[in-house]
Structure 1
Amino acid sequence: MRASDDDRHRVAAALSDAFARGQLDYGEFDERTKRVWVAKHHDELLDPLIDLMPDPARVLAAPPPAVRPERTPEPGRYPPDTGTDTASRQVTGEPGGQSFTLALMGGSGKRGDWLCAPHHVSIAVMGGTDLDLRRARFHAHETTITAVALMGGTDIIVPHDVRVINDGVGVMGAFDIEEDEDVLDSMEELPTNAPVIRINGLGLMGAVTMRRARRESTD
């Protein structure tokens, strides 16, 4: 049976999960991901997963990554910047959400009012991905983002009242947290119940940048 784009996205996400768990090193992850994007049939598509899980075919039975159209937030949906109360309202418990962002020699991103899955994978290969979390909604108190930038860049904007944890590494590249000048409170000052964004992955000859920004900022 011939593979669809949804099938390729499912398998690429499974490889990203395996990379994040340490089952694959970078060279293996890169080589297998390239095979996924050129695979024409299911047997070719599943071969990169054969030593990673007992039943690779189950990956194709999973629902495709949910895609929500961008929309402007409803007036009054979020009150003026009120600190962690606003951050806590971002955790809605809604199921599903956007779980995958890919840029191959181009650009891709999410901003505005969107639902982020509990584990989001963002891959930029000679391109750029942008994730703006200031008005995003989250399923759970802690969200994990696996960001891989290969000769590309990933920019993640995190609201200043959400705790961000950097678990990534830069190899001939960068994996850093930055703060806008108008962010005056440090993460150490956030309450213990502040939502958590845990970001892991790799910047190889590329950069993953997490930027703490105030909610009302526009860039």
Structure 2
Amino acid sequence: MAAPTIDPKTIFTPDEWAGLRQRNDWIGLGLVVHAYVLIGLAVALFAWAPNPLTWLIAVMVVGARQLGLAILMHEAAHGGLSTNQKLNDFVGHWLCGAPVGASLHRYRPYHLSHHRNTQQSNDPDLGLAAHFPISQKSYQRKLIRDLTGQTFFKQTLRPLWGFLRAPTQASPEARAAALTFLGAQAVVFILFAAAGQALAFVTIWLVAQASWY
């Protein structure tokens, strides 16, 4: 059964609605910088005192900020990172989405369709919520799959491996996704290597990414 649609302008006053729609370049772009600063500090902590505790802290912080970058890509899909559309899209795609295996250009049409048709029969996200609420055991299974990297393997590494095995047979969309991901990871690796932390690219960056995906 489709949920009833509501025009938000019947709930908020014009002034309230204008405030909700306001964009602030300093906040949006500042949050992107903040995410990378925390990632750098977390890796620096491990480099300064390499031990199991600092490694765990680094993985947790880096993973949380990788998720934060994915969330900021979501904001960019709504034009929320910058009032300059080109800057918004560049930062949202290349600095937020690509490093964590996502694509603003593929995500935006899908996600905006969800907002236009929320809880309607043509909502593309309808299937994601259809099986909720779930049992405690089901939740535990999902949590284990995410923390152990199984979801990351299924959604990112398996399609990537398929592309690498037969690149000429991949669809243009799959090819673009794989090349964007590989290119972004190459840049991140170069930055880690330049800081003398090439191994941390695998043990922290990729492990963190696999744990929240």
Question: Do both share a fold (TM > 0.5)?
Answer: no
Structure showing the higher strand proportion among its residues = 1
In the superposition, the TM-score normalised over structure 1's length comes to 0.25
In the superposition, the TM-score normalised over structure 2's length comes to 0.25
Higher relative CO (CA 8 A, sep ≥ 6), structure 1 or 2?
Answer: 2
Larger Rg: 2
